[in-house]
A and B are shown apart, each in its own frame.
Chain A
Amino acid sequence: MTTLNTLTLTETVAKLKAKEISHAELYKDVHKAIAEKNERLNVYLTLDNEAASKAEKLLDTPLAGAPIAVKDNFCTEGMRTTASSNVLKDFVPPFDATVITKLKKSGGVVLGKTNMDAWAHGSSTETSDFGPTKNPRNPEYLPGGSSGGSAAAVAADMTIAALGTETAGSIRQPAAWCGVVGLKPTYGRVSRTGVVPMASSTDSPGPIGKTVEDCALILTHIAGQDRYDATTSPEPVPDFTKDIKKGVKGMHMGLCYTDHPQLRGTQTAKVVEQAAKVLERLGATVDVIALSEKIQNNHVLNPDYAVAVYTIVQRSEVSSNLAGYAGVRYDVGRSHFGAEAKRRIMLGTFTLSKGYADRYYVQAQKVRSLYIQNYQQLFAKYDVLLSPTSPGFAQKIGALGDNPMFGELEDKLVEPCALSGLPGINVPCYRDPKTNLYIGLSFMSNYWHEETMIRAAHAFEEATQWNSWSNK
């Protein structure tokens, strides 16, 4: 007997509106799953036990009162928000992030706040001050990060859908490692107001869900220009689910990074190449794009440099964004920062400091321009770019170790597009039957063309039926 917590968001909304299921039954099943799994998996830091009663009034809204797990870096009024750091362990915001306001207005209910890498500093959820989250597909492994809790909540059916944020990989990589769908919108598509900032120039809130359509549905309702965020665009927000079934016939796609030395011949490269074949059978053309060390037409710039660029830009902005925590207005002070936070703040301070800013910060921002140019060259030719999301499967708990650049190395393949502000979506493309771990495929489209990548991702999902692979 399948319980209601295993429904997708689209199914949930339809069944609620058709009165096939009630909010009470739905939330009962979801809370039961949470009660069974949360202690072991450490997904939720805070839960709203009144969520069901709030949901009942929301039937006549687009999301019909469905429960949504929210990464703990979104300010939620009246509900503790910690960014998984001891510095904010008692912080109860007096305001909602704009995304939360929009979510609530469309009928989504904040079910609870999920675990993350503290301050979003990481790609494993191991830097959380409240313990790592475990991968529901295989609890000896990490869920990825920094939106590890949200991705795990979706994979474990401990929610119907979730919200995360991506600075460079933090939505798509945990989605890849947990075997779920994660959508990073164009930078400026979704408001950052009320989101604990990490790297202000790339932070992008976005949905994590069980299907591409679920993510498209949430994006439709959280996107849009915000008067309180000067970096949001007046670009109109379409219904991202409308053309979702249009397929990929005639689409030109380019496959990136599979010939990178780190990936050549690996299982990851093989499964992604097979995925490309699926897309070809569906009517798309897929070229393999060669790697190059310099900008050249028809080549993709080596992502290795993006690691240095991203490390510098991100840590510089982090050092400034975390300067306000001084134990005066709403936090308990700087001595409570975890080791990773201290590392990042300090390195970022260094890369901005007198005598070094030109060599590091300014230089990094210039190389960033090269990646932006390179993608524009590619999008002049291609509708969609494909790549593996992560170089490999989820790693075992403890993998972070003392590696000062763990996160950046894991996210290498998605850093170039994140730095450029481009949108991307991860869809699982392979499951290892022995470990139950997944590999994810990233679809990227040009600025403001999320609809294109959503169409492609949906077509792939329909063709592969990846949701039926699991042995949850």
Chain B
Amino acid sequence: MNYEPVIGMEIHVELKTASKMFCGCKNDPFFAKKPNTYTCPACLGMPGGLPVPNKKAIEWAIRLGLALGCEIPLFTKFDRKNYFYPDLPKGYQISQYDQPIAVNGKVETSFDRVRIRRVHLEEDAGKLLHATLDGEKVSLVDFNRSGVPLVEIVTEPDIRSGEQAKEFLKKLHQIVQYLDISDADMDKGSMRLEPNISVRPVGSKDLPSYKVEVKNINSFNFVKRAIDFELDRQARILASGKTPIQETRGWNEGKGATVSQRVKGEADDYRYFPEPDIPPFRWTSTFIHEIKSQVPELPDAKLARFKKDYELNDYDATLLTDTKQLADYFEECVKLARLPAPDRRDGGQGKVPAKKLANWIINKKIVIDEILPAALVQSILTATAVVAVSDDELGKVIAHVLQANTKAVTDFKAGKLQSKMFLFGNILKELKGKGDKEKVMGLLEKKLTE
């Protein structure tokens, strides 16, 4: 029996707003020098500490929803998700339950589209450190991260392989980076992933009766490995006639395996109810259109445009649109390279074709942080400046080289095409870099056919 994976992903992205989601504390938990230095009555869960939502976080979440092709319902609200954990100061998390900020989007991959079920906003919890104090196992709690804005993205179980998962995540990461709303750095925890994995017989259209949530995955590569491991593990269980347990497992990189953490009941009872401390939101379509106009050109569209407008091949265009920063840099160079360069030695128009710029940037591995576009264009122009050579001198040099290499000329006339290149090379050497190469070749060919 062959099995196919049925995988959905839950991704959390920390927004890089200046302040937290529901209070004015600084949003900088990773770089805080000491624990518990960015807290206030609201994010520390003190009596009467009330939440007030961050406008920018909301706009950015809508922007992300739009970039993922979602619909933005005109009514949305926050809800309380009630559960106990030492890193959750209020004993509930302010999140969104049945009326999230964005729904029904999709992301294209080379395998197939991955539908986005929902995008919602919530607050992050504090951080726990395990320690032993006076022989007792304890958790040390730092609330600097409590209240940081999180966007949660939930896909439909459309993913069918570890490769597709990886591609999807890279795409998502790229979109987030294009929007400039998060560092999305997995090492710093500003992007977190949890695949929900189950398998079913190939050809079946039903959703499996169970799913396994996998946590503690710190890179896109680990996602693929964890998925591959789970597919194998689950397929074996099914093949033996049993059903895999619905549970949470943790990825253990050292073992190259997932390990059981917690058996999930029928989803915990979070007793969701609308957040009484925060009035709901009602948008106008004008407001949504305004936000939509702030969504920059996204990677797929930019890639297509680069290939068309600049006649770049897929490889080069993909490289140049990898980050918005690089793409913008490239286009700035293109714009500058089309402008006249006043200090060309031959006094003419300085133009560097887009393709040449692309090659230069890619092959010479230009570090765009270290050289401004204008400076880069100038350096290319200088390096490729064509020094004029008079027709007279050109004719003399060509005649000289042909005279000195009569065998090559005969060989060429006999059909040996490489001889032309040999002659061309010698001419260029004698010209010492001067002259327009195309013009030289043209003249050489003319002379050879005479």
Contact = CB atoms under 8 A, between A and B. Distances in A.
Interface in B35-79: 41-42, 44-53
B271 A83 contact: no
Contacts of A329: 44-46, 89
Nearest to B271: A352
A331 to B, nearest CB: 9
Nearest to B39: A329
A192 B45 contact: no
A193 B47 contact: no
Contact of B82 (A83, A88, A93, A323): A323
B269 A75 contact: no
The contact size tier of chain B is: 20 to 34
Nearest to A119: B47
Interface residues of A, number: 40
A353 B45 contact: no
A231 B141 CA distance: 30
Nearest to A316: B273
A324 B86 CA distance: 10
Contacts of B52: 227-230
B84 interface: yes
Interface in B160-204: none
Interface of B: prevailing SS: loop
B46 A93 contact: yes
A96 to B, nearest CB: 10
Contact of B47 (A75, A231, A353): A75
B276 A317 contact: yes
Contacts of B271: 319-320, 349, 352-354, 357
B420 interface: no
A317 to B, nearest CB: 6
The interface centre, meaning the residue of B51, B86, B269, B279 with most chain A CB atoms within 10 A of its CB, is B269
A195 interface: yes
Contacts, number: 95
B12 interface: no
A330 B46 contact: yes
A194 B45 contact: no
A199 B277 CA distance: 10
A97 B53 CA distance: 19
Contacts of B92: 320, 323-324
B91 A326 contact: yes
Interface in A324-378: 324-326, 328-330, 349, 352-354, 357, 361
B120 interface: no
A324 B89 contact: yes
Nearest to B51: A230
A388 interface: no
A201 B86 CA distance: 26
A222 interface: no
Contacts of B276: 199-201, 231, 317
A352 B273 contact: yes
Given A95-B41, A320-B273, A328-B141, A196 B48 contact: yes
Contacts of A229: 50, 52, 277
A317 B89 CA distance: 16
A97 B41 CA distance: 10
A194 B41 CA distance: 8
B278 interface: yes
Interface of A: 73, 75, 81, 83, 88, 93, 95, 97, 192-197, 199-201, 227-231, 316-317, 319-320, 322-326, 328-330, 349, 352-354, 357, 361
10 contacts: A73-B47, A88-B47, A97-B48, A193-B50, A230-B52, A320-B271, A323-B82, A324-B89, A329-B45, A361-B273
